[in-house]
Structure 1
Amino acid sequence: MSLSTMGIAPTLRPTTGPIPTAEPRIEIAGPVRERYEEILTAEALAFLTELHVRFAGRRHDRLAARMRRRFEIGNGHDPQFRSDTAHIRDDADWRVAGAGPGLEDRRVEITGPTDPKMTINALNSGAKVWLADQEDATSPTWRNVIEGQLSLFDAIRGQLTHTSAEGKQYAVTATETPTIVMRPRGWHLVEEHLRFTDRHGRTMAASGSLVDYGLYFFHNAQALIDAGRGPYFYLPKIESAEEAGLWDDVFTFSEEYIGIPHGTIRATVLIETLPAAFEMEEILFELRDHVAGLNAGRWDYIFSMIKNYRGRGARFVLPDRSQVTMTVPFMRAYTELLVQTCHKRGAFAIGGMSAFIPNRRDPEVTAQAFEKVAADKKREAGDGFDGTWVAHPDLIPVARAEFDAVLGERPNQVDRLRPDVQVSADQLIDCHIGSPITADGVRGNVSVAIRYIEAWLRGLGAVAIDNLMEDAATAEISRSQVWQWIHQDRRTADGTAITREYIEGLIDEVLGEAPRHDGDRFDDAADVFRSVALEEDFPAFLTIPAYTRFLVESA
């Protein structure tokens, strides 16, 4: 597997003569549209340049370490709790910074992309927190990256309005709006529309993480502080304590750069990769001056399990996605360990998002969604989580009721320790579920993945499909299961062999049933799906090749 497949930007080196000394810089390589200059100011680009000068090389090293770790697991070396950091886990005295202003009560958080309409809806939703998502719920088109920043810029200053194509007016009317926690892209993603040239004259795509984080922080940190909140972030796809330490250094430098007190930034880390589950205390320790809590990112966690164990035999083959619930062994172990770890260190434990969403045109679907979400949130609140996610405003009262029943007037239950929890390394990789792979499950994966990718190519990152909210993480589960089932010679419950030919037939069926229209991207989506589910190589993320091939614009 190459570094480019891993999302490590290729470095362009001079081919002859001595290595020149250049002035580091970030340059705009994408179109500059209306108001983009308000975000891409000379001062903001200078800040991004400083972030890259200091941290781009370490990002490269961390991504290379990820690849080595995944290679080791694939070759039979199961992850273990680290012996070299046992002293951190054994030291009972240290605690994390915890909640910043506006983060004391997080019982219901709404998630969603940062386009103007979704921003306004989130701020009017009544949730305690809004996860302003520039990651899995956002297709990283150049428009979405910069115009999402504009939405946040305007919202923080109370000047955001929106008029839909149909003429409907949107405005923020809530007297109390959620605390914004912004999620930048993960370390593995790049931003091709901004190019970084280092001191040696080498030019490469900018880091998507540093771009999203840096633009938001630079423009909004002081305004958020002045409003009684702060610059808060969700950190996705973390795989190690060292990656967390890299973020901590980014935060410390940023606070010094604009002159705010150390520890003003607060981060919540998504534990959504298998390696991170073995380093939760170490991740909290590395970020201890800046961390508020951990989140159980369930969908990416399932994807990470499949990705790491895709070639390790029948023991690690999962059944239909619908059967991989929060109560199966490896998911139960990881969430219980997360709550125990967080509360031991004074951190918040935030639950994940149930994919079920209501349909205002179908009362039966809505009733089923309410029932399933209520059961999910009741379990989380009972397990000790301090809050949870929803993807639709109508689900906020449902989730809140379950947490109110446990919390009462308390803002959280961080003081609830879980000494009863004892989780072993073997439990964290216990994939025994006992359910079959069904023909409907295989077809569902093909259908969901292609329909989601088609929408993603058109710039949509959060998509309602068959009454479930799908994002990049659920598409990753769908395509990675198909890859694993093929390579592990699985059969469906009715005896049908899951082969490339079988999947090609399902692709044809899905394309034949697709609602074609001018500008649809179904053929491109099918090509992307084939490349990430049917080829011999397994790309670490489907979004990396799809972004490079389809979403990069010329200036």
Structure 2
Amino acid sequence: MALYPESGYSSGLKLPAGVRIRGSIKPGYETVLTHEAVAFVADLVRTFRPIVHSNLALRALDQAKYDAGGHPGFDFRTKAIREEDWTCAPMPAAIQDRRVEITGPVDRKMVINALNSGAKVFMADFEDSLAPTWSNLVEGHINLRDAVNGNIRYEDPRTKKVYSVTNPNPAKIFVRPRGWHLPEAHFEVDGQAIPGCLMDFGLYFFHNQAAFRSKHGGAGPFFYLPKMQHSREAAVWNAVFERAQDALGVPRGSIKATVLIETLPAVFQMHEILYELRQHSAGLNCGRWDYIFSFIKTFRNHPELVIPDRTQVGMTQHFLSSYAQLLIQTCHRRGVHAMGGMAAQIPVKNDPQANEAASAKVRTDKLREVLAGHDGTWAAHPGLIPLVYQVFDAHMPTPNQLHRLRDDVQVSEADLLAMPVGSRTLEGLRLNLSVGVQYTAAWLTGTGSVPLHNLMEDAATAEISRVQVWQWLRHGAILDGEQAPVRVTRDLVERILREEVAIVERELGPQRFAAGRYQEAAQLFGQQCTAKELDDFLTLEAYKRITEVRPNSRL
């Protein structure tokens, strides 16, 4: 389809009018950045960019209310939606059973390993576990196209080992585009960078919907939608789906999407979010790490809500258990899946005792989820998938638990806003700064998912570290110290940051994740932790450092 007339070339690409590609074009990129596909994305951008920007402005207005002492809550204007009986459209047979899902970035080897992992679903991630360099993004689309077409293959240049999909029942692909807030600087429409999510969604849908649907009985493609704060944002996604399906002659409702409930405002909008997406909904997911980040960010000006060490804020905390219980009840009442969250532990090599301790944590977490009524959950590493299956298979003999309506759950605003209990420690401050620097250094070199301290860290967990340090500094938190309590000051943060960077450089050196960029990462992360005003996202500022726009690429 050619929605707009041809106007010229950009690095060998034939582009529609008003479109400029400012990223480098390597061999193969032209196969996904086709005239028709780029025109399809441009149409979505022209149609929805104004309302995207409007919704982002509304987010800022909401935050201003919270900064002034308010808090999110259930909206009285949509009470009828919450109380009336309605259900979402039936889910297709292909995704009735989602008991184990694996997530990861869209690099070629990861895609193959995830499809072979034995998980029911692979969430192919353009968001928190991917550093959005231009090459990562475009090559990710090439990789997913090859995966959907069944011809993906990878040869490791160092070991010469060849990887291919050998599982006769590979994981079904769900794609997570970037959040509404992240731009794509290398792709311009009418002189402006586009919302990154519309590129991620648009290119994938355009190239893969036909092949994907042919393999799944006409259903799909499937998506995960991140970072929403209000049902009005879900309404935009629903409109995007409708326009995309109509443009390519796909029946409305073919797309199915699971929304990650990973912001505090969104937990009060779960019925409304499902209602807006009811024709396209595949349920909700407990995005626990971003949810903790959002809890801190929402209440950044509330001194009475200065939370304890991030390591102490687990799903047994009242505000988190209430959120999970309400999510299950909401989803099952509306006939869609309630997906559990990520246990970030990874297998520990060469240390059986530590490995068993990590496995025990995963087992406990997944047992809690399946007994509560979740229909499936996430694993961070292929090595954990058998363990997760063992737990869910033992307690969920059916494909899902939609029959468990959880009418016993009674969750109030106060439950969802309850202050987490625990201590604030100097060790916690050190961990936050160490993790933040190491993750930021990795992100700047193109790696968005990093194993640190036997946990898989991504942008969400790094954000917890960042905003927690900022919150502690903003309110002068008193920490349990190594010898005596200590107040968090800028001098303390900067001193510990220097110490932790020195430890990282001494112990790790220019390791493959960081390539010697610890000092740059420390400068960036430290600035954000000590800034007078809290930046909304670490990755917005960091993104400026990984863009490589070509100034002479023309229409």
Superposition TM-score tier, normalisation by shorter sequence: over 0.9
User: Is the counterpart of residue 400 in structure 1 residue 386 in structure 2?
Assistant: no
* SS of residue matched to 2:341: strand
**Per-residue deviation, 1:98:** 4.0
Alpha carbon RMSD of aligned pairs, Å?
1.2
Cα distance in 2 for residues equivalent to 1:482 and 1:98: 44
Structure 2 residue matching 1:40: 3-state secondary structure? coil
- Aligned 1:113-192 pairs, distance under 5 A: 113-166=105-158, 167-192=160-185
1:533-555 residue CA offsets vs partner (Å, 9 max, x unmatched): 11112110000011013334436
8 Å Cα contact 1:451-1:522 kept in structure 2: yes
Match 1:370 to one of 359, 375, 379: 359
Corresponding position of 1:328: 317
Structure 1: any 5+ residue segments left out of the alignment?
Answer: 1-22, 198-202
The SS at the match of 1:292 is strand
1:104-142: CA deviations, max 9, x gaps? 100000000110110010000000000001100100000
1:541 aligns with 2:531: no
Q: Which residue of 1 aligns with 2:457?
A: 470
Match of residue 5 from structure 1 = none
For the pair 1:225 / 2:213, whether they are aligned, the reply is yes
8 Å contact kept, 2:73–2:268: yes
Partners of 2:30 and 2:248 in 1: how far apart? 20
Change beyond 3 A, Cα 1:26–1:364: farther
User: Hey, what's the Cα distance between the residues in 2 that align with 1:432 and 1:122?
Assistant: 35
Letter in 2 for 1:442: L
* Separation of aligned partners in 1, 2:449 and 2:244: 30
Tell me what 2:263 maps to.
273
Deviation string, structure 1 residues 162-201 (Cα, Å, up to 9, x no partner): 111312221111111011000000000000000110xxxx
* Residues 98 and 293 in structure 1, CA contact (< 8 A), matched pair in contact too: no
Which residue is 2:369 aligned to? 380
* Partner SS state of residue 263, structure 1: coil
Partner of 2:399, secondary structure, is: coil
Amino acid at match of 1:378: L
Q: Percent identity?
A: 46
Q: Aligned partners of 2:180 and 2:410: how far apart in 1?
A: 31
Corresponding residue for residue 4 of structure 2? none
Paired residues in the alignment total 524
Q: Name the CA distance, whole Å, in 1 between partners of 2:254 and 2:163.
A: 32
Is the contact made by 1:391 and 1:469 (CA closer than 8 Å) also made in structure 2?
Answer: yes
How far the C-alpha of 1:432 sits from its partner, in A, is 3.6
Map residues 23-42 of structure 1 onto 2, 5 A cutoff.
25-42=18-35
Q: What code does the residue aligned with 1:431 have?
A: M
Equivalent of 1:216 in 196, 204, 219: 204
Q: Does the aligned pair in 2 maintain the 1:101–1:230 contact within 8 Å? A: no
Say whether 1:486 aligns with 2:482: no
The answer to whether the 8 Å contact 2:69/2:301 transfers is no
User: Which amino acid is 2:92 matched to?
Assistant: G
Q: Matched residues in 1 for 2:290 and 2:325: separation?
A: 17
Cα deviation digits, residues 450-488 of structure 1 (max 9, x gap): 000101111111100010000000000001000000011
- Residue of structure 1 equivalent to 2:6: none
Alpha-carbon distance in 1 for matches of 2:255, 2:443: 31
Q: What one-letter code is carried by the residue in structure 2 that aligns with 1:151? A: N
Q: Aligned partners of 1:24 and 1:56: how far apart in 2?
A: 17
1:44-55 matches, within 5 Å, as: 44-55=37-48
Alignment check: 8 A CA contact 2:444 2:545 kept: no
Report the residue type matching 1:334 in the other structure. Answer: Y
Query: Please, which of 480, 493, 499 is the counterpart of residue 509 of structure 1?
Result: 499
Equivalent pair of 1:25/1:46 in contact (CA under 8 Å): no
Q: Give the whole-Å Cα distance in 1 for the aligned partners of 2:101 and 2:399.
A: 13
Query: Which range moved further: 470-479 or 392-401?
Result: 392-401
CA distance in 1 between partners of 2:241 and 2:125 (Å)? 19
How far did residue 59 of structure 1 move? 0.3
* SS of residue paired to 2:350: coil
**Deviations 1:469-514 (CA, angstroms, capped at 9, x unpaired):** 0000000000100000001111211311111111111111122122
3-state DSSP of counterpart to 1:537: coil
Contact 1:270/1:295 (8 A) holds in 2 = yes
- 1:425 and 1:226 map into 2 onto residues whose CA distance is 44
**Residue among 482, 487, 505 paired with 1:497:** 487
3-state SS of 1:162 partner: strand
1:99 is displaced (CA, Å) by 2.2
Correspondence for 1:105: 97
CA distance in 2, matches of 1:467, 1:59: 38
Greater alpha carbon shift after TM alignment, 203-212 vs 493-502: 493-502
- Residue 306 (structure 2) pairs with residue 310 (structure 1): no
Does structure 1 conserve the Cα–Cα contact (< 8 Å) formed by 2:308 and 2:420?
A: no
Tell me how far apart the structure 2 counterparts of residues 25 and 364 of structure 1 sit (CA, whole Å).
59
Q: Helix, strand or coil: the match of 1:102?
A: helix
- Within 1, Cα distance between the matches of 2:138 and 2:294? 29
Alignment match, 1:7: none
Aligned mates of 1:38, 1:294 — CA distance in 2: 34
TM score, norm. by length of structure 2: 0.93
CA distance in 2, matches of 1:216, 1:116: 15
Superimposed CA distance per residue, residues 384-442 of structure 1 (whole angstroms, 9 cap, x where no aligned partner)? 0000000101111111111111111x100011111111111111110141x21111111
Equivalent residue in structure 2 for 1:357, among 346, 356, 359: 346
- Secondary structure at the counterpart of residue 239 of structure 1: coil
Q: Does 1:423 align with 2:411?
A: yes
Cα distance in 1 for residues equivalent to 2:249 and 2:436:
45
1:549 aligned counterpart, secondary structure: coil
Shift in Å, 1:96: 0.6
Q: Deviations over 1:338-375 (max 9, x none)?
A: 00000000010000001111123322222111111000
Instruction: Give TM-score scaled by structure 1 length.
Output: 0.93
